[in-house]
Structure 1
Amino acid sequence: MPEDTGRFRIGPTDFLLDGEPHRVLAGALHYFRVHPGQWADRIEKARLMGLNTIETYVAWNEHAPQPGVFRTEGRHDLVRFLELVHEAGMHAIVRPGPYICAEWDNGGLPGWLFEDPDIGLRRSEPRYLAAVRGYLDALLPLIVPLQIDRGGPVVLVQVENEYGAYGSDRAYLEALVEQLRACGITVPLTTVDQPTDEMLAAGTLPGLLTTGSFGSRAQERLEVLRRHQPTGPLMCSEFWDGWFDHWGEHHHTTSVEAAAAELDALLAAGASVNIYMFHGGTNFGFTNGANHKGIYRSHVTSYDYDAPLDETGAPTAKYAAFKEVLARYTDVPAEDPAPRPPAPALEVPFRRQVLLALVQDRLGPAQVSERPPTMDQLGRYRGFCLYAADLAGRGGVLALDGVRDRAVVSVDGVTVGTLERDRHDRALVLPPGQRLELLVEDRGRVNYGPRLGEAKGLVGEVTLDGRPLRGWTVRPLDLDSVGPQLLTDAVPVQGPVAGPAFLYAEVELDQPTDLFLATHRWGKGVVWVNGFNLGRYWSRGPQHTLFVPAQQLRSGTNDLVVLELHAVADPTCRFLDGPDLGHLED
């Protein structure tokens, strides 16, 4: 299946670079999970480990949070990221989806895509294909000039993502290929699937390079790949070297020795590789995904993945072991990255607080609806939404058809309980009162399987003692950027704090440096530093620190705002000298 044109080609047995056999030694690094000020550092550390290529997904919903919007600045500046890869003397693999999984919110698919409930997701359905065409028409002009034949770093582009685990619509894959080529993608195209006969048969097309995703039994998996593709290079384009974490579970790690041995076996067989992940980074803001296999489980803020480069950019024991393996098959730089120095251990008090109820009108307009709408129906696809209804002095059993994904329930400003999707909660007892409020949190959209695109917020009917509650005031909360301007009515913190409330602290620094914010003594909530949403915390763990990139800080005073949903007994803001990602399985 050789591709006969271009500097980078697929030959009978190998990738060919300028006509010579070439092995792709890649590492996954998602630009949207790393602060732009740290991109160059992470890329350079990949080069120092012995890699020659950086791979990244493209998250459609990050670039296009609303219809007609396509962001390309800051954390969304894919062009700058690829230019930095090129400046480091490395190649790039781009995986634009449109579906990416990646433990990312909705697998990268925009929430607004599902405003039409009948849209034909990930298949050759006209409305879905039209939306995908709009996405690729905006994205591909950024990538085309950066292909290797035009002097750039991009050598491979992937079509869809593990499609054989989802569907078997060949016409859909053909439509994607047609648009990629029509828009000017000339480098070889690939697909990836887990190496089973069923998935490989459903997930690829003739003329595309079939690659595999696995983290063990390399020789066996490569034999399955070869059976489906008699010629061309063998490649594991997702070599799983770690795993992800869910709230309420342990922090996942894998054996350094076993992972290095599998990498060695893969390379000894002559295959190319993309290490997933080389550096995982962070699910900043409300970008984490979730799984649902009978029970809803959302991913934590850290995407450390037990990778060779940890969430903070520090080399791990796996980094050294992988570099030793790579040195058997390629020339590796003699230089090693410096270990992470201890971060400043600081402690500052929270100075001010204000109840969410007192500032909610500053976070977006309220809408009136007879029945409770979903967040999606209100055009809010991530974060929080506040639902309120009049009880007229009544109490009784509050029952919901469904909550996605968690609701803090209060009556007349006093919290009376929570309803959680992962506990299958549907009802609780309300005391008599006047005003019912449910602060509903989207904890992350499912990123894999048939539940893609589920609406968030309150779903279906809400009843009190069996009778439908009518007349709702609903306010989607704009929490993308929160700073001290929200706290103009705040009062001094003088002891334990009852939420939902915003708390404010000031952190003085001589110079910007990476920090590790401890959340052990808090309940559940979200943190912003200088207006930037660091992500979620939860006492449920396993993660108990939030990574604060140095580039998000400044010399002098830094503003820290916390939305605490429940309670803080000790209103103190602490920073540790290193990360705490939680307990391990053993």
Structure 2
Amino acid sequence: MKKIHLLLLACLCGTLVFAQPSQVKNANTFAIGKESFLLNGKPFVIRCGEMHFARVPREYWLHRLQMAKAMGLNTICAYLFWNVHEPKPNEFNWSDMADAAAFCKLAQQAGLYVILRPGPYSCAEWEFGGFPWWLLKKKDIKLRTQDPYYLERCKIYLKEVGRVLAPLQISNGGNIIMTQVENEYGSYGNDKEYIGKIRDYLVEAGFTITLFTCDGPSQLKSDVRDDIFSVVNFGGNPEASFKYLRNIRAEGPLMCGEFYPGWFDSWGNKHHMGSTGGVIKDIKYMLDNKASFSIYMAHGGTSFGLWSGANCPPFLPQTSSYDYDAPISEAGWTTDKFYALRKLFGQYLQEGETLPEVPAANPMISIAPFKTTEVAPIFSNLPKAINSVEIKNMEEFDQGFGAILYRTKLTADAKNVDLNIKEVHDLAYIFLNGKKIATLDRRRNESVCKLASVKNGDVLDILVEAMGRVNYGGYLHDRKGITQGVNIVDANGKSKTVENWQVFPIELQNNSIPANLKFTKGSSNMPAFHKGTFTVSKPGDTYLDVSQWGKGLIWVNGHCLGRFWNIGPTQTMYLPGPWLKEGANEVVVLDYIGGKNGLQGLEKPILDSLTEKVENKKHRKEGQTLDVSNVPTTYEGSFANGINQQTIEFNSSTEGRFFCIEALNSQNGRPYASIAELYLLDEKGKELPRSKWKVAYADSEELSGEDGKADNVFDLQSTSIWHTQWQGSAPKYPHYLVIDLGTVQKISGFKYLPRQDADNGRIKDYKIFISNTKFKGL
């Protein structure tokens, strides 16, 4: 009779069973003990780092894995992205940079175990959180629920994952020791039966090794099941986070599933950096307490092609560079963080372990400045038109990526009219009779532009560029193009729906440019493809400087390097040496807004150069003072100390547009205030949408020493916070934060997530004020 792994038996019995060392004697075993993981029957501390093979050129997989091993890791954690492996329903891809089995085998060759994170949902700042776009073709689909169609597709996908990767489990002589069930589900929902179904699909697919879930400290209660092992994610303060894990999991090894040494970047915001000292301190604490961990990211790499995702609200598309300020840089270089960790890990090696030599960096080259010489304007290279009476989104035209052009002829003369587009996803370039008149940007909730005077027969073109789909939170159902409709609003405010469109889906791919483009000599400031060549005497890695261009995508020898945008913070694009060839190389640039046409290859990246006027200015003008003395107090209370999310219910619902929290003092008596996340609750106790929220006032924000802007309280990230000023002056309590909800709402309470990484700034006593009109002083 086949031996069944202890955790699989636990899953089938409905109870998590802990193995004893005496129970695990056979070679090639991994199990959960009461106090530690057991590898081949012996206690084992997992020193893991996250690395996504889809973000690394296949030719460099072994190099990056050897770098991780040399840093001192014994395990690699790897997401599978469903949209990479099933680009079309029932058409699976395990080739080239999608060859997960080859990656796992190379990890074993490098002396590393693997923790597998197959999804179906991944997040990871990846397009749609890893979901394939075609799921959105079903209009009523409900992702991450027990929606029958969604579950059916999950089961098909996970069965295929098992076919390919289950043979590589440690019990079969491979190196996969753990497999994750879903991902951070507690930040999205609380249906534990759904988690159980995903677990069952993995078991049916052949995964007999340890299955686990992960989440942040305050979200664990929403997805932890007694029959699945659980780990906790955090970016600091391991002692407090592990205490929270112990409150719901009294026995078993402690593990941090994601420990953040840096952070990802979004367009228009500064490049994020993580403190090396803080990273070393927290990992040393875990090592001293024999706690396992996975560094997210050990090596970030690059979201090549159209794979970078977005957060919402507010809508913040992420950069293609996924450098993450990780210990191993985007190009695979060592960093100060790398060597600090290598030194630390060298003090905690297990019996028989040694640190290998650090692999040499791959050679870098520079490329002399050059220009493109040919152009193919988008409007002159349109695909066949599709006639549609109503506006429809991309997915309804069976389109996954790229841009889409909506064209119509106006049918009446009018003066002083507005064009109102309901839900631009994500940037709309507006043209009237071939002349560009406006750009609408979803990041700023822009939906209206002036058309001035129009006449019967005028041609209206709306070119919509799709950025990455939302990858985290409640706005996952992120369909692209124009998602609701287009109206013309006259000078009297009368609105008329615009119909009868010609639609041109401009599908873009990761490894090819659109077919049949007609290039001619010259350049253009209209949306266009630009082509040129450059010569390389000996291929090597380089960073392509795209700072002279506007916004778009770039392909070199058919490989899409990703998105560029001159607003920054990144102004370069990583170009791996294996994608170059000796002699002439072809470059194609798609630019939606036009630029100066120059390119060159640099040996170092430009990761932090913002050119757009940053709107992260302080939300308090010089001398401005808020006055709430004439507003009745809606509620007052005290927050409990600690990292737990707290739900506050008012005695009755209150109506208002402006929400003010007055922080009266802190838990530790210091003058600082901080908040990680705020959610308001409607009259039924459900979270109100935050997409229209704006900070109307914050009496103090730290913007120099750290990213402490007040907008962080509704950016969906528990690791980013509003923090009052500490560098320079440190204003005393009380501290005020006012949020404009955009419209009048009924509010029955709120959820408050305190700062997670440290106790500094955690609020104790507070008052809440809600008003239909602006508070005095705003």
The two structures have a TM-score, normalised by structure 1, of 0.94
Name the Cα RMSD after superposition.
Answer: 1.9
**Cα deviation, residue 440, structure 1:** 0.6
Structure 1 residue aligned with 2:140: 118
Q: Aligned pair in 2 of structure 1 residues 144, 339: CA closer, same or farther (>3 Å)?
A: closer
**Cα deviation, residue 583, structure 1:** 4.3
Q: Is the 8 A contact 1:367 1:473 kept in 2?
A: yes
**Cα deviation, residue 339, structure 1:** 4.9
Structure 2 residue aligned with 1:514: 541
2:20 counterpart of 1:7: no
1:557 maps to which of 584, 593, 604: 584
Which structure is higher in RCO with an 8 Å CA cutoff and minimum separation 6?
1
Q: Is the 8 A contact 2:58 2:97 kept in 1?
A: yes
**Cα deviation, residue 513, structure 1:** 1.1
Q: Aligned pair in 2 of structure 1 residues 447, 483: CA closer, same or farther (>3 Å)?
A: closer
- Stretch deviating more after TM superposition (135-144 or 60-69): 60-69
2:155 counterpart of 1:133: yes
Structure 2 residue aligned with 1:456: 480
Structure 2 residue aligned with 1:409: 430
Equivalent residue runs for 1:414-425 within 5 Å: 414-425=435-446
Structure 2, unpaired ranges of 5+ = 1-16, 490-494, 611-702, 705-778
Instruction: Give the AA of the match of 1:425.
Output: E
Q: Distance in 2 between matches of 1:582 and 1:341?
A: 23
Structure 2 residue aligned with 1:536: 563
Instruction: Give the AA of the match of 1:476.
Output: P
Q: Is the 8 A contact 1:111 1:453 kept in 2?
A: no
Q: Aligned pair in 2 of structure 1 residues 332, 393: CA closer, same or farther (>3 Å)?
A: farther
Equivalent residue runs for 1:393-408 within 5 Å: 394=413, 396-408=417-429
2:344 counterpart of 1:325: yes
Q: Aligned pair in 2 of structure 1 residues 483, 555: CA closer, same or farther (>3 Å)?
A: farther
Q: Percent sequence identity over matched residues?
A: 35
Structure 1 residue aligned with 2:521: 491
Q: Distance in 2 between matches of 1:544 and 1:332?
A: 40
Q: Is the 8 A contact 1:241 1:276 kept in 2?
A: yes
Q: Distance in 2 between matches of 1:225 and 1:484?
A: 50
User: 2:382 aligns to what SS in structure 1?
Assistant: helix
Q: Is the 8 A contact 1:279 1:313 kept in 2?
A: yes
Instruction: Give the AA of the match of 2:602.
Output: L
Structure 2 residue aligned with 1:88: 110
**Cα deviation, residue 403, structure 1:** 0.5
- Stretch deviating more after TM superposition (173-182 or 90-99): 173-182
1:162 maps to which of 184, 189, 213: 184
Instruction: Give the AA of the match of 1:2.
Output: F
1:579 maps to which of 588, 594, 605: 605
Q: Distance in 2 between matches of 1:296 and 1:483?
A: 27
2:224 counterpart of 1:204: yes
Structure 2 residue aligned with 1:296: 315
Q: Is the 8 A contact 1:505 1:573 kept in 2?
A: no
Q: Is the 8 A contact 2:555 2:561 kept in 1?
A: yes
Q: Deviations over 1:387-429 (max 9, x none)?
A: 1111358564211111101111112222111111111111112
Structure 1, unpaired ranges of 5+ = none
**Cα deviation, residue 49, structure 1:** 0.6
Q: Aligned pair in 2 of structure 1 residues 127, 489: CA closer, same or farther (>3 Å)?
A: closer
Structure 1 residue aligned with 2:468: 444
1:343 maps to which of 362, 365, 371: 365
Structure 1 residue aligned with 2:330: 311
- Stretch deviating more after TM superposition (223-232 or 333-342): 333-342
Q: Deviations over 1:357-377 (max 9, x none)?
A: 12223xxx4311001110011
Instruction: Give the AA of the match of 1:453.
Output: H
Q: Distance in 2 between matches of 1:178 and 1:342?
A: 47
Q: Distance in 2 between matches of 1:341 and 1:256?
A: 26
Q: Aligned pair in 2 of structure 1 residues 68, 475: CA closer, same or farther (>3 Å)?
A: farther
2:100 counterpart of 1:100: no
Q: Is the 8 A contact 1:353 1:487 kept in 2?
A: no
Q: Deviations over 1:101-154 (max 9, x none)?
A: 111111111222233333332123322211111111221111110001111110
Q: Is the 8 A contact 1:351 1:492 kept in 2?
A: yes
Q: Is the 8 A contact 2:401 2:507 kept in 1?
A: no
Structure 2 residue aligned with 1:391: 410
Q: Aligned pair in 2 of structure 1 residues 320, 443: CA closer, same or farther (>3 Å)?
A: same
Equivalent residue runs for 1:29-40 within 5 Å: 29-40=51-62
**Cα deviation, residue 487, structure 1:** 4.8
Q: Distance in 1 between matches of 2:445 and 2:518?
A: 39
1:434 maps to which of 439, 453, 458: 458
- Stretch deviating more after TM superposition (426-435 or 104-113): 426-435
Q: Distance in 2 between matches of 1:185 and 1:485?
A: 42
**Cα deviation, residue 434, structure 1:** 2.8
Instruction: Give the AA of the match of 2:604.
Output: G
Structure 1 residue aligned with 2:246: 226
2:46 counterpart of 1:24: yes
**Cα deviation, residue 477, structure 1:** 1.2
- Stretch deviating more after TM superposition (19-28 or 106-115): 106-115
Q: Is the 8 A contact 2:161 2:205 kept in 1?
A: no
Structure 2 residue aligned with 1:274: 294
Q: Aligned pair in 2 of structure 1 residues 489, 343: CA closer, same or farther (>3 Å)?
A: closer
**Cα deviation, residue 485, structure 1:** 6.8
**Cα deviation, residue 31, structure 1:** 0.9
Q: Distance in 2 between matches of 1:509 and 1:221?
A: 51
Instruction: Give the AA of the match of 2:486.
Output: V
Q: Aligned pair in 2 of structure 1 residues 484, 423: CA closer, same or farther (>3 Å)?
A: closer
Structure 1 residue aligned with 2:530: 503
Q: Aligned pair in 2 of structure 1 residues 167, 489: CA closer, same or farther (>3 Å)?
A: closer
**Cα deviation, residue 342, structure 1:** 4.6
Q: Is the 8 A contact 2:159 2:202 kept in 1?
A: no
Q: Is the 8 A contact 1:408 1:415 kept in 2?
A: yes
User: 1:521 aligns to what SS in structure 2?
Assistant: coil
Q: Is the 8 A contact 1:35 1:75 kept in 2?
A: yes
Q: Is the 8 A contact 1:384 1:441 kept in 2?
A: yes
User: 1:461 aligns to what SS in structure 2?
Assistant: strand
Q: Aligned pair in 2 of structure 1 residues 112, 483: CA closer, same or farther (>3 Å)?
A: closer
Q: Distance in 1 between matches of 2:201 and 2:393?
A: 34
Of the two, which has the highest radius of gyration? 2
**Cα deviation, residue 312, structure 1:** 1.0
Q: Is the 8 A contact 2:306 2:562 kept in 1?
A: yes
Instruction: Give the AA of the match of 2:159.
Output: D
- Stretch deviating more after TM superposition (65-74 or 476-485): 476-485
Q: Distance in 1 between matches of 2:329 and 2:180?
A: 26
Give the number of equivalent residue pairs.
576
Q: Aligned pair in 2 of structure 1 residues 124, 46: CA closer, same or farther (>3 Å)?
A: same
Q: Distance in 2 between matches of 1:393 and 1:344?
A: 56
Instruction: Give the AA of the match of 2:482.
Output: L
Instruction: Give the AA of the match of 1:321.
Output: A
Q: Is the 8 A contact 2:84 2:98 kept in 1?
A: yes
Equivalent residue runs for 1:51-90 within 5 Å: 51-90=73-112
Instruction: Give the AA of the match of 1:377.
Output: E
Q: Distance in 1 between matches of 2:66 and 2:34?
A: 32
Q: Is the 8 A contact 2:364 2:542 kept in 1?
A: no
**Cα deviation, residue 486, structure 1:** 4.8
Q: Distance in 1 between matches of 2:123 and 2:436?
A: 36
**Cα deviation, residue 329, structure 1:** 0.7
User: 1:459 aligns to what SS in structure 2?
Assistant: strand
**Cα deviation, residue 498, structure 1:** 0.7
The two structures have a TM-score, normalised by structure 2, of 0.72
User: 1:389 aligns to what SS in structure 2?
Assistant: strand
2:252 counterpart of 1:239: no
**Cα deviation, residue 201, structure 1:** 2.0
Q: Deviations over 1:533-571 (max 9, x none)?
A: 111111111010011111211111111000111122x32
**Cα deviation, residue 475, structure 1:** 1.7
Instruction: Give the AA of the match of 2:186.
Output: G
